[in-house]
Amino acid sequence: MNNHLWRLVHLLALCTMSVSGKVFVSIDCGASGSFTDENSIVWKGDNDLISSGVAYAVQPNHSVSHAMDTLRVFTTRIKNCYSIEVEEGEKVLVRAGFNYGNYDNKSTPPNFDLLFDGNFWVNVNASDFKIYEAIYVVKKKVISVCVAQTKPDHLSFISSLEVRSLDSQLYSKIGTNYALLLHFRDAYATNQTIRYPLDPYDRVWLSSGNTTILVHLRNDASVIDVNVPDDPPQAVLMNAIATENITRTITLGLGTFDYPIRYPAYLNFYFSETKELNSSEIRSFRIFKDNVPFSLPFVPRFGKVVEYTISNLSITTDTNFSIESLGDSTLPPLINAFEMFLISDALNDGTNNNDGKSPNTRVSIFMY
């Protein structure tokens, strides 16, 4: 290892909590102490964990949250890394946050690369507050998350770093030699961000905006059976959006992409009926891709969930999905939650011939 390029810091057994996984690490980069946030997550500052870099605070008018209001800026070496001990072969969720916050009073946010385990992750454009998430199976007993300077005078930095263990069965419709790079994870019609402890894996489900023209539904079920492969938290199924009537369509745009559009997509749709239907009522619908029928019909059940997964789907910046009622439906279409990832190139470290092959498009439906 070239010491002029790397600064490797082992963060072993820090801020580890026993939840649904084995690792639950939350690092408040650029901070000196620890704090517990409103979600009962314990954050540890990195001042005593790393000797390189300089700690800064964002300007007050750029405050985002306690954990995102400090940052560590790397003024030396091209590449600087954090390393965290995990179990070889386990599935992890890694989340890295960046808030430039005009810490240097120059109003010149940098561009630099973010990497994990020697794999390119994304080019960080720090002009906006950003959080990136990757899910993958680790190849070694230590994972590394690195920032790398790519332009003169564009100093790399990091504001937060989180690592969570996941159940090995989650997001398993791709080979273990690929990572899922989160594009968005939306919970519809909620008025809050849903994460730990409501989601024991601490996936962050954002309250989806731009739904004012749709009807917001509250689920009448007191308990929802979430026994589907990706184990969505009940909280994201307690609300849904629907159209005003069966002639209207729910349109799901994909937004702006941080990752190359050449990456294939991995999508999870979640549907749960919000009320007990009488014998004259039926809610049936299907998904359309670019106005073409794309899925089989769905008839979601009360107190249950349907998960519809599409893996390795080619998309473009113009791709859109919509949900439309079928001819026998007396009730309009609905949706509770939607996750979209892009599938990375094959990962370094431990590639084998079978995992290295590009997967085929796969569709799975789970109804409970």
User: Omega into 297 within 30° of 0, i.e. cis?
Assistant: no
The alpha carbons of the chain give a radius of gyration, in whole angstroms, of 21
Phi/psi for 67 (5° steps) reads: -70, -25
Give the model confidence (pLDDT) of 195-220 as tens digits.
999 999 999 999 985 566 899 999 99
Residue 51 confidence (pLDDT): 81
Q: 163: closest CA among 202, 199, 115? A: 202
Quick: pLDDT tens for 38-96.
999 999 999 888 889 999 999 999 999 999 999 999 998 899 999 999 999 999 999 99
Does residue 16 have a pLDDT over 50? no
Q: According to the model, what pLDDT value does residue 209 have?
A: 59
Q: How confident is the model at residue 10 (pLDDT cuts 50, 70, 90)?
A: very low
Q: Which of 171, 154, 14 is nearest to 92 (CA)?
A: 171
| Cα atoms in the 13 Å half-sphere on the side-chain side of 352 | 5
Residue 261 in this model has a pLDDT that exceeds 90: no
Give 283's Cβ-side CA count (13 Å radius). Answer: 20
User: Does residue 17 carry a pLDDT above 90?
Assistant: no
What DSSP character marks residue 237? H
pLDDT digits (tens, 9 = 90+) for 146-200: 999 999 999 999 999 999 999 999 999 999 999 999 999 999 999 999 999 999 9
Question: What per-residue confidence (pLDDT) applies to 325?
Answer: 97
Environment class of residue 272 by beta-carbon count within 10 Å: exposed (0-12), middle (13-18) or buried (19+)?
Answer: buried
pLDDT band at 22 (very low <50, low <70, confident <90, very high): confident
pLDDT per residue over 294-351, tens digit each?
Answer: 999 999 999 999 999 999 999 999 999 999 999 999 999 999 999 999 999 999 973 3
Mean pLDDT of 242-248: 95
What φ, ψ does residue 136 adopt, rounded to 5°? -165, 170
Grouping H, G, I as helix, E, B as strand and the rest as coil, residue 234 is helix
Could you read off the pLDDT of 123-141 as tens digits, one per residue? 999 999 999 999 999 999 9
- What is the pLDDT, as a whole number, of residue 115? 97
- For the chain, the first-to-last Cα distance in angstroms comes to 51
Q: Cα separations (Å) of 220 from 254, 275, 304, 315?
A: 29, 5, 12, 36
| pLDDT higher than 70, residue 250 | yes
The C-alpha atoms of residue 145 and residue 29 are separated, in whole angstroms, by 13
What pLDDT, on a 0 to 100 scale, did the predictor assign at position 360?
Answer: 58
Stretch 255-274: mean pLDDT: 94
Predicted local distance difference test score (pLDDT) of residue 101: 98
User: What was the pLDDT predicted at 208?
Assistant: 82
Q: Is the pLDDT of residue 353 over 90?
A: no
